[in-house]
Structure 1
């Protein structure tokens, strides 16, 4: 079979290369002996008949409204995918657009698609949060990446992706990062996150394969690439002053 990975609105939601998480999934599937294709979905007219995973990357505030308008054309599909258990990875403003809504620094409100709980609000202290981000997730282990955002995330404290080890994450003193609802994931982790965190990528791929009724076993080339990822992770953890248990 051929796995189909949909990258939603990549022309507007790929500021940090986060739409390329789709390429990570597709390549790991090919190394495992499966066929995979990536479909760039700019609006509902581009939607394939079936998807196995969905990536929603990050954009800039200048693209919030046009990106929201395009995602809104796929609102029913996003809700259905989330209910059915299709893995959906959303990052940065892409995640915020799937929330209840976004409050902007000038007092405006951008209504979200309400696929995920919580909302994005301006930082209480002002300014941007930038730097290394390390998260301990009960489902996916330690995750690394970098964060770059001017908003904090509230009202989703019951369902975080994980706890902060280094960085700010959702902010407001929550010590939490991201939000999870089933297989719908929202995070501030850029990188792209799946390239830096193979365990998270393989967890998504295993779920995709299980849903399709086939097996997923990482291929030989995957081990070579994962060794590079391990070195990058070790360097970032050291820079962030994080020592993991042996």
Structure 2
């Protein structure tokens, strides 16, 4: 059995970030690994804090900051975590354990970010961050690339599946072809 925690999943899902849970659940269930929701991020195998509207951040920002010590422990231990988009920007501007990004004008574009651990990561960004589009400590990831990034980045997905007690994804050929077509269209 594996578990996940999602911070206010109904409000922190601006760009389909909660789809990352669906992707993990799909491949874990193929491997007969149960993937259940828990209410405590410290006991979860995987944590996600998705992109949110300004209104959601105003409403739940204090609660998100109260979660920061648990997230810091996960960061220090390199535990499987995705903090995405506006939530990443918000936390990076409020806590000392995430590098403070440089801000500039908002840039909206498809982007490829080269990483050492997972190769090129593709996604869409809509952010005022000038740097730090994808930061990682172990399996802890903060990123401006939102949406179901695990579905578009098979190597990163495999790493998160392993962190959740599963094994690498067994892709159906047509699914993998579709993912590669998306990756190629973003990269060009």
Length-normalised TM-score, structure 1: 0.68
Gaps of 5+ in 1: 40-45, 102-111, 154-169, 171-175, 210-214, 242-246
- Alignment partners' CA distance in 2, 1:200 and 1:27: 15
Residue of 225, 233, 238 corresponding to 2:175: 225
| Aligned residue in 2 for 1:190 | 146
| Aligned residue in 2 for 1:152 | 129
Q: Which runs of 4+ in 1 moved over 6 A?
A: none
Residue of 67, 91, 102 corresponding to 1:74: 67
Render the CA deviation track for 1:44-103: whole Å, top value 9, x for unaligned: xx326720011111112233232321212323322222233321111111112331x1xx
When Rg is computed on C-alpha atoms for both structures, the one with the higher figure is 1
Alignment map for 1:129-208 (pairs within 5 Å): 129-149=107-127, 151-153=128-130, 170=131, 177-208=133-164
More helix by share: 2
| Larger displacement relative to structure 2 (188-197 or 225-234) | 225-234
- Alignment partners' CA distance in 2, 1:229 and 1:28: 15
Structure with the bigger RCO (C-alpha within 8 Å, sep 6+) is: 2
Q: Alignment partner of 2:145: what SS?
A: coil
Distance 1:20 1:67, change over 3 A: farther
1:28 and 2:10 aligned: no
RMSD across aligned positions (CA): 2.3
Length-normalised TM-score, structure 2: 0.86
2:111–2:186 Cα contact (<8 Å) kept: no
Distance 1:58 1:48, change over 3 A: closer
- Alignment partners' CA distance in 2, 1:152 and 1:205: 29
- Alignment partners' CA distance in 2, 1:32 and 1:115: 35
Gaps of 5+ in 2: none
- Alignment partners' CA distance in 2, 1:236 and 1:217: 24
Q: Give the superposition deviation at 1:206.
A: 1.6
